[in-house]
Amino acid sequence: MMVGIHYSLPEEYLAMDIDEYANELLTKLFAQAHAQFGNAIKLHWFYGSDFCPGCGQPIDAIKVKGENALSLNAYIYRKRHVLIGYFLCSRCATKVFAASKKHPTQQSPLHAVIEKNLVAAYKQHLASLDA
Ligand SMILES: [Zn+2]
């Protein structure tokens, strides 16, 4: 299951570490998702790559009402009860947004690619904790 939000970046955050900012947002998103889905979600983790999990290109800003924004999205990996937050590049964010508007209940092929990459990265993260 995917949850998508576009956050515009306020000036004061531009000076902040972007991962720190993302984590802060993810914590809020986690609280919301937890209220909605309960114990389906127990953890959250941020996919802190500079590259888009949809296409592998560098993350770039999207324009929302003329302002720069980053597309923060979250995926609920139910098997592990984890909410995985991630950024999308502007191209994939636009595609995902268009697809979910057209077919709200259907998963697009791009979603499948993103989920596969997120799950692989999360497993790698878990493996690195064990090492
Ligand atoms: Zn992309």
Tokens of 6: 């576009």
Q: What's the gap in Å between 87 CA and the centre of ligand 1?
A: 9
Q: What's the gap in Å between 49 CA and the centre of ligand 1?
A: 12
Q: What's the gap in Å between 4 CA and the centre of ligand 1?
A: 14
Residue ranges per domain, the chain?
A: 2-130
Q: Which carries the bigger pLDDT value, residue 12 or residue 87?
A: 87
Q: What's the gap in Å between 129 CA and the centre of ligand 1?
A: 27
Contact status, residue 22 vs residue 85, Cβ threshold 8 Å: yes
CA–CA distances in Å: residue 31 to residues 12, 47, 76: 23, 18, 13
Q: What's the gap in Å between 89 CA and the centre of ligand 1?
A: 4
What are the tens digits of pLDDT across the range 68-109?
Answer: 777 888 888 989 999 999 989 999 988 988 887 888 777 788
Give CA–CA dist 81/2, Å, rounded.
13
Q: pTM to 2 decimals?
A: 0.82
Confidence of residue 33 (pLDDT cuts 50, 70, 90): confident
